[in-house]
């Protein structure tokens, strides 16, 4: 993860370093001492109650905003900062947290997703160009939430710069299923989708020339979760089931899978295609058989 440029940031770093001791007297010989602990501004590298617009720079388009919480190990003071990512250059450069206590601090960060939650299935007409359909789906921003932390960071007040590695458990699965042209005159098929052990949807394609497409990218598509497509092939002459297949896909963290399957009489033939994302390293892989 690249470090954000520190051009013209020295002024921000040194602002806010203060030490203040206030004494007040009560009655004759009693004194109370209110001590404000020294604080400083800290610049973050996020490869951040205040809120500011920050230029996106190298932060992926999957991120809409970043929230940072800083907790002092010495005083227990909590400092919050929120950053909205902008693409038009109207924001500031870099992430700065103001009034961070000196000494050891824990930094935690959490993003919100810019991509919409998607879980749907649809049929694709025969005249549609599949490559264009898949490219369009893969170009959609996936639903991804990142989080990270840097613990026990020593804040000195001297040009402090904190690195936070952001990681995600979210992934995406795109599945396309079609019937081989040699079978469309005599057979049709149905598809049942199971996710997290629940039946999500049943679609039957009596018009065998149509293709099935599903996309899964939402709050549930996290590492280790399973999606199953049960494909059943029927004879048009008597509606008797000829064969069935289970296509099992497992979500992998920070990976977008695009799987293309062709229904044959006795097997499924898979093709591959892919797309890479970054910010933990988001990658697209293709699977099937």
Residues 159 and 191 in one domain: no
Residues 228 and 86 in one domain: no
The enclosing domain of 39 has a CATH number of 2.60.40
Residues 160 and 184 in one domain: no
58 closest CA partner among 91, 87, 82: 87
Residues 45 and 151 in one domain: yes
Q: What is the mean pLDDT of the chain?
A: 78
Listed in sequence order, the residues at least 6 apart from 91 whose beta carbon sits closer than 8 Å to its beta carbon are 52, 53, 54, 55, 84, 85
Q: Is the model more confident about 207 or about 272?
A: 207
Residues 177 and 198 in one domain: yes
pLDDT bin (cut points 50, 70, 90) of residue 2 is very low
Share of the chain above pLDDT 90, in %: 45
Q: Above 50 in pLDDT, residue 49? A: no
Of 100, 130, 164, the residue at which a domain comes to its end is 164
Cα(123)–Cα(206) distance, integer angstroms: 12
Whether the CB-CB separation of 67 and 81 falls below 8 Å is answered with yes
Domain assignment present for 147? yes
Q: Above 50 in pLDDT, residue 215? A: yes
Residues 215 and 150 in one domain: no
Residues 57 and 151 in one domain: yes
What average pLDDT does range 97-124 have in this prediction?
Answer: 92
What average pLDDT does range 157-179 have in this prediction?
Answer: 92
Q: Is the model more confident about 120 or about 2?
A: 120
Q: Above 80 in pLDDT, residue 23? A: no
Share of the chain above pLDDT 70, in %: 73
Q: For 161, phi and psi rounded to 5 degrees?
A: -140, 120
pTM for the complete prediction?
0.76
Q: Above 70 in pLDDT, residue 227? A: yes
Q: Is the model more confident about 240 or about 9?
A: 240
Residues 62 and 152 in one domain: yes
Residues 180 and 255 in one domain: yes
Whether the CB-CB separation of 240 and 262 falls below 8 Å is answered with no
- 63 token code pair: 């991120």
Residues 147 and 185 in one domain: no
Q: Is the model more confident about 104 or about 4?
A: 104
Domain assignment present for 2? no
pLDDT bin (cut points 50, 70, 90) of residue 131 is very high
Residues 55 and 189 in one domain: no
Q: Above 50 in pLDDT, residue 28? A: no
Whether the CB-CB separation of 18 and 49 falls below 8 Å is answered with no
Q: What is the pLDDT of residue 103?
A: 94
pLDDT bin (cut points 50, 70, 90) of residue 82 is very high
Cα(92)–Cα(100) distance, integer angstroms: 19
Cα(82)–Cα(97) distance, integer angstroms: 9
Q: What is the pLDDT of residue 87?
A: 93
Q: Give the structural domain span for 212.
A: 172-280
Q: What is the pLDDT of residue 245?
A: 83
Domain count, the chain: 2
Q: What is the pLDDT of residue 21?
A: 24
Q: Which range among 23-37, 135-149, 204-218 has the greatest average pLDDT?
A: 135-149
- 117 token code pair: 């939650």
pLDDT bin (cut points 50, 70, 90) of residue 98 is confident
Domain assignment present for 100? yes
Domain assignment present for 234? yes
Q: What is the pLDDT of residue 157?
A: 86
């Amino acid at each position: 993860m690249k470090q954000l440029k520190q051009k013209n940031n020295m002024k921000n770093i040194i602002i806010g370093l203060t030490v203040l001791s206030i004494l007040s007297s009560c009655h004759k010989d009693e004194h109370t001492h209110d001590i404000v602990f020294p604080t400083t501004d800290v610049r973050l590298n996020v490869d951040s109650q205040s809120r500011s617009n920050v230029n996106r720079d190298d932060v992926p388009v999957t991120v809409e905003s970043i929230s940072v919480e800083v907790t002092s190990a010495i005083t227990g003071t909590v400092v919050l900062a929120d950053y909205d990512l902008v693409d038009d250059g109207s924001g500031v450069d870099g992430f700065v947290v103001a009034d961070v206590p000196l000494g050891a601090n824990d930094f935690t960060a959490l993003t919100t997703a810019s991509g919409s939650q998607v879980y749907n299935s649809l049929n694709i007409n025969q005249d549609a160009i599949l490559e264009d359909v898949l490219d369009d789906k893969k170009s959609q921003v996936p639903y991804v939430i990142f989080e990270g932390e840097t613990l026990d960071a020593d804040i000195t007040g001297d040009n402090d710069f904190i690195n936070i590695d952001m990681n995600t458990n979210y992934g995406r699965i795109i599945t396309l299923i079609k019937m081989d042209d040699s079978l469309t005159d005599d057979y049709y098929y149905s598809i049942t989708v199971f996710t997290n052990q629940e039946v999500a949807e049943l679609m039957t394609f009596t018009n065998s020339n149509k293709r099935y497409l599903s996309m899964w990218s939402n709050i549930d598509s996290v590492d280790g979760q399973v999606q199953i497509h049960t494909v059943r092939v029927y004879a048009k002459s008597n509606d008797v089931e000829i064969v069935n297949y289970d296509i099992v896909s497992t979500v992998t963290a920070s990976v977008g899978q695009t799987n293309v399957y062709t229904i044959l009489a006795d097997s499924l033939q898979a093709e591959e295609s892919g797309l890479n994302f970054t910010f933990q390293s988001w990658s697209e892989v293709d699977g099937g058989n």
